[in-house]
Homo-oligomer: A and B are copies of this chain.
Amino acid sequence: MSKNLTTRSEDYSKWYNELVVKADLAENSGVRGCMVIKPYGYAIWEKMQAELDRMFKETGHQNAYFPLFVPKSMFEAEEKNAEGFAKECAIVTHYRLKTDPDKAGKLIVDPNAKLEEELIVRPTSEAIIWSTYKGWVQSYRDLPLLINQWANVVRWEMRTRLFLRTAEFLWQEGHTAHATKQEAIEESEKMMNVYADFVENFMAIPVVKGLKTETERFAGADETYCIEALMQDGKALQAGTSHFLGQNFAKAFDVKFANAEGKQEYVWGTSWGVSTRLMGALVMTHSDDQGLVLPPNLAPIQVVIVPIYKTEEQFQAITTSVNELVKELRKLRISVKYDDRTTQKPGFKFAEWELKGVPVRIAVGPKDLENGTFEVARRDTLTKEVVANEGISVYINDLLQQIQESLFNKALDYRNTHITEVNSFEEFKDVLENKGGFVSAHWDGSAATEEKIKDLTKATIRCLPLEGVVEPGTCVFTGKPSSRRVFFAKAY
């Protein structure tokens, strides 16, 4: 197959858009801003879900499901949150269509079926969930509530891009309620760490953990923890957020509990989420001009085997040998596909599986059968070697782990060489324009300065890194005193 893929250096953005479609991950739908996640893309998302779900349950959370719709009065109860999402809400106003009296076979909205109160399609579920928690919490014995939901949400974005920014997206949202401030803060931090663990160890994407500034914080939160990743074009991508909500939603929805002394107190809350946006991060971190590169931990197919033959007899002999190998690999829980299609040539198959990012490709021809070998190719390095039949399944298993680590280390190297300390605004702009990545700079702490820098450079403060060295300095923009460096970057 011919890939016809734009290269990253030609046009990174176009490369991404093409790759997502050509690798069968997703496509735009006939509905403005909404995507179709295709089976191959969805299989990757399912692997992400399974692993995250396991991690959530191991940390004591249970799944539940809350309504898609939020009545307007409920939506606006927590004012900051409502204000933050009001500009991008899909709103249900009617509940029935009727036959168009003027056009046969056409339907119109029935004006007699207007809702008494409009319903907002959830952009996030704090409002509906906290209005429910009110009924679930009476005493400190009912706390903590540790609940997660897998759901679709809708934010009416004007400019959309597959996975990165879509009107509808899939996500999980954790919503927890606690008796003390300290416990809620610990929960927010714990879930940020769960996300970092998942993104680094399963997606092979290194992240910076940090705190958002007030400007970038989730509307309705007292503090937002985040993990920030760096894409190959030097732009940052927020990969997950975990919010300490203080008592904001408890106060808005009157969620109180009787403490051990019988005194009524407001509950403390957190919420945290990651979404199908992670699919975009996955593509942009590892893939290359030949197509997708998938980390073995998330690849729906980890190993593909392609037979190379001229005669039917050779094909039969190869298939017999491959069937053995497939059995051995499956015993090690390796996901393997034998591509025995007779309608396509090996070259076509090689290109297709390269495009789809299968981590390891094994080719086997008559010569290999004679020699008792296989040709093993790595997708990440595009290198190949000849490996003896004997003990090959263990070799492949090790190789998959090696690829997983190698992808992480490569991304980590890139990330580490793309954190640049600057001490003047000239330097700031220069690094941002010519090198990209995180620009570590002093900032005076004011939203006004943050805003001005954004207007001038398009860079935003990605986070106040948790592991950053706190050292005094002067703001690169205003020269005012600063207590610590923060990370700026252009971002998705």
Contacts and interface: CB of A to CB of B under 8 A. Distances in A.
A298 to B, nearest CB: 15
A88 B95 CA distance: 6
A96 B87 contact: yes
Contacts of A346: none
A121 B118 contact: no
A94 B45 CA distance: 30
A35 B67 contact: yes
A194 interface: no
B93 A86 contact: no
Interface in A65-88: 65-72, 74-76, 79, 82-83, 86-88
B91 A65 contact: no
Given A30-B71, A168-B69, A96 B89 contact: yes
Nearest to A116: B32
Interface string A12-55: 00000000000000010111001111110011011000000000
B67 A90 contact: no
A131 B69 CA distance: 26
Contacts of A170: 65
Contact of A86 (B70, B97, B131): B97
Contact of A70 (B31, B38, B132): B31
A459 interface: no
A89 B74 CA distance: 22
A62 interface: yes
Contact of A89 (B64, B95, B168): B95
A119 interface: yes
A107 B34 contact: no
Nearest 10 CB-CB pairings of A with B: A34-B67, A39-B62, A37-B65, A86-B97, A95-B156, A91-B94, A31-B67, A93-B93, A90-B92, A39-B64
Interface of A: 27, 29-31, 34-39, 42-43, 45-46, 62-72, 74-76, 79, 82-83, 86-99, 105-107, 109, 118-121, 128, 131-132, 135, 141, 147, 151-152, 154, 156, 168, 170, 343
